[in-house]
Amino acid sequence: GAVVSQHPSRVICKSGTSVKIECRSLDFQATTMFWYRQFPKQSLMLMATSNEGSKATYEQGVEKDKFLINHASLTLSTLTVTSAHPEDSSFYICSASPTSGRAHEQFFGPGTRLTVL
Amino acid sequence: GESVGLHLPTLSVQEGDNSIINCAYSNSASDYFIWYKQESGKGPQFIIDIRSNMDKRQGQRVTVLLNKTVKHLSLQIAATQPGDSAVYFCAENTGANSKLTFGKGITLSVRP
């Protein structure tokens, strides 16, 4: 149980285009989902906290107009990288916190590798 | 600002030996700590967690030790196997919400 999927697993796009990444909790409901970004050889950096039915909370330094987050249901959150540039190339990872789980519990997705040419 | 960090960037151990991975944290308000394992190109995988009201917790082949006095967390892996090779992260939660702050990560390399 507690499986989180991401789609796509890899995406290559041209500079200036937008890319949407989906994060799904497959066998549980998640009121809260988190989006992280990880550059090579570095740690996970939290970008934003996504709550179902409300606006996402962004971490300091993360542009909310560039990284659009939508959490329309208890099993799906999407991250859209708008007008992507090469510096946005990174590994994007989501996690989901079960609605009825233990406090602070997070299950991570497999990540999405974004390459912007 | 406050942060979670690791002492060593890499650790190389012989297969069968025990591994100890250390982590220092600076936020004294943190009340929950987790160790994750991340293999190349994959998301983090939960290993073990510990709450601040405990100083030791054991799992299968793994033990987490928490020393709140010096704000130190360690992960011990017994009889390290080649499949343990990965990057290990500690993470902390301050209790205000479910947000996690990750440490810098340490690469564990197991020699056959």
Mean pLDDT of chain A: 93
pLDDT surpassing 60 at residue B71: yes
pLDDT digits (tens, 9 = 90+) for B77-105: 999 999 999 999 999 987 666 789 999 89
Confidence band (pLDDT; 50, 70, 90) for B8? very low
Q: B101 to chain A nearest CA, in Å?
A: 8
Q: B18 to chain A nearest CA, in Å?
A: 24
With an 8 Å Cβ cutoff, are B89 and A44 in contact?
A: yes
Mean pLDDT of B51-57: 95
CA dist., res. B38 & res. B43, Å (int): 6
pLDDT digits (tens, 9 = 90+) for A21-71: 999 999 999 989 999 999 988 999 999 999 888 889 999 999 999 999 999
Q: What angle do CA B16, B82, B61 make, to 5 degrees?
A: 55
Question: Is B82 in a helix, a strand, or coil?
Answer: helix
* pLDDT for residue A23: 97
State what percent of residues in chain B have pLDDT above 70.
Answer: 90
B46 reaches A (C-beta below 8 A)? yes
pLDDT surpassing 50 at residue B39: yes
| Nearest CB neighbour to A93, from listed B43, B97, B99 | B43
With an 8 Å Cβ cutoff, are A43 and B46 in contact?
A: no
pLDDT surpassing 50 at residue A88: yes
pLDDT surpassing 50 at residue A103: yes
pLDDT surpassing 70 at residue A15: yes
Residues facing residue A35 across a β-bridge = A48, A94
pLDDT surpassing 60 at residue B48: yes
A103 reaches B (C-beta below 8 A)? yes
pLDDT digits (tens, 9 = 90+) for B60-70: 999 999 999 99
Query: Strand order in B4-6's β-sheet?
Result: B4-6, B19-25, B72-77, B62-67, B56-58
Q: B78 to chain A nearest CA, in Å?
A: 25
* pLDDT for residue A100: 77
With an 8 Å Cβ cutoff, are A108 and B45 in contact?
A: yes
Q: Which chain B residues are Cβ-neighbours of A113 within 8 angstroms?
A: 41
Confidence band (pLDDT; 50, 70, 90) for B52? very high
Q: Which of A3, A25, A26, A104 to mutate to test the interface with B (most CBs of B within 10 A)?
A: A104
Pair B6, B106: CB distance under 8 Å: yes
A11 reaches B (C-beta below 8 A)? no
